[in-house]
Structures are given as C-alpha cells and as structure tokens.
A and B are shown apart, each in its own frame.
Chain A
C-alpha cells in the first residue's frame, strides 16, 4: 500500500477509535453523576434547583474529556498535517 493510502486509512481509523473510546469514559461518568444527583433530589426535594444547577456544572466538567476526544477526532479528520504532507508528496511525485 502506498503511503498516501496508508496515512488516509490510518487517519480514518484513528479518528473513529478516538471518538469511540474517548466517549466511553465521559458517558459513564455523566451517568454516574446524574444518578447521584437524582438520588440527592429524591432525598431532599426542596433543594432540587440547587442540585440541578450543580449537576449541570459537574456535567460540563466531565464532558470536557469527551470534548477533547472530539477535538482530536476533528483535527485528525480535517486538520491532519500528515495527510496534507502525504498529499503534497504524492502531488510532487506525480
């Protein structure tokens, strides 16, 4: 397989794996957080607004990991320096 194809294939694979594996952790974490928040609301329904707000903030923090994975995926797919370099070399070769 010539390098261009290889780089292209590996980039695609890497992007898919990145977002796939990168999304597992945050999803589990967010589920856990939501579950505990719901339990807390069930215990103290009067504090529901407070708990909900804190839940959202915590979710945002947890989500940042997923966002990092997403960013890396997008970078691989659209701002891949290796792919650009490979294309350049292929163009020069032709």
Chain B
C-alpha cells in the first residue's frame, strides 16, 4: 500500500492527467519563483536591508561558499544547477509539514530525473574544465586496469543519488501513513520531526554529492578567489 505519487491524478489538463508528482512540483516551483521575484523586485545596497533580502543573500552566499569550498573552483560555474537542486529538494522536503502536501521527491521519477541530469553534467563539466583528453584521463587513473571499475563507479554514483533521496523520502512518508493508521494522536510527531531533519540533510547531501561528482575533473587554470568573495 505504498502510495504511488505517479498514479494519483489530481486533475486533467486537456488530454493529459496531471499526477500528484507533477502538480506538487509545480507548486514548489511556483513558491520558489514567486517568492524570489517578490523579494528581488527592489533590492538595496545600503547596510540596512529588509529581512527577506538578507535571507536570500544569506542563502545564495552560503551555497556559493560551499561550492567553492568543496570544488576549489569558480563557484559561478556550478551555482545555478546545484543551487537549484538544493533549493528545490529542500523546499519540497520541508513543505511535507503541511498536511495533504506530498513531496514530489518521494517519487522515483523525480529523483531519477535529477540523477540523470547529474550523470549528464559530469562529462559536460569535465570536458568544459579539462578538455576531452583530461576528462577521459580520469578513467585511466591510477592504472588502465581500473577503467571498467571507474566507469561503473560513475554509474553507481548517479544511481545511488537517485535511490538515496527516493528511499529517504518514501520511507518517511510510509512511516507516517502507517502510524496515522495505527496511532494517529501525537505518536507520529517525533517521526515527522525526524522526517523533516532527514529531508533537509538529504537535500544537502544530494547537492553536495552532485558538486563533488561534477567537479571531480579539475580545471586547467586554478581559480583564485578574489577579495570580495572571501570567506563566503
């Protein structure tokens, strides 16, 4: 009786049925985009700014700092993709606190789609950083005997990304469903909190691992952070 988000049809959009995954994904996207737009309509450069602008600045600078710390490379290259991963997954996992909200990441389609994107971004950024030769060299190192193992590790990384996120979110949802059936009053609360915690951690891990896999091939010119972005 695993709830299958992909097969719950919310409504029909023309000939297509919009299933819960897609619907809730759109909800999360709308929240993210509309919120950003509202806040970045009038940005100030003075020292005193509104709290929302500070929030967004904090989020963006933290993500940028993490990317730079992990990859040692120019963070602006990876920021849009990895930032989006983190924000989407975190927002969708946190919004499970709202009743009747089903996290879109609890469906294998979503997580598999994200993992496929990461899997495609790995050679893309690898070739962009170090050229084809440099990227292909990564499979040969340390010895050419490791070639099949390196290729396999690439696949399994992406695969594990998908399943890790899916497994965590699904197990959280199933546990709550079961407990709601058995003991609906106050007992599910600690497990819901655990679900929130693991959801945030899983979002962070997903983004972190994506950065690690994607920036595995170091670029030819080392990136030196300028003074303005120091420590962020």
Contact = CB atoms under 8 A, between A and B. Distances in A.
Interface in B126-167: 156, 160, 163-164, 167
Contact of B69 (A50, A59, A64, A71): A50
Interface residues of B, number: 14
A63 B70 contact: no
Nearest to B2: A78
A60 B156 contact: no
Contacts of A57: 208-209, 212
Most chain B CB atoms below 10 A, which of A57, A64, A67? A67
B164 A60 contact: yes
Interface string A34-53: 00000000000000011001
B215 to A, nearest CB: 12
A72 B2 CA distance: 17
B124 to A, nearest CB: 21
A57 B212 CA distance: 8
A56 interface: yes
Given A50-B69, A64-B156, A56 B164 contact: no
Contact of A53 (B66, B156, B163, B201): B66
B69 A56 contact: no
Interface string B171-206: 000000000000000000000000000000100110
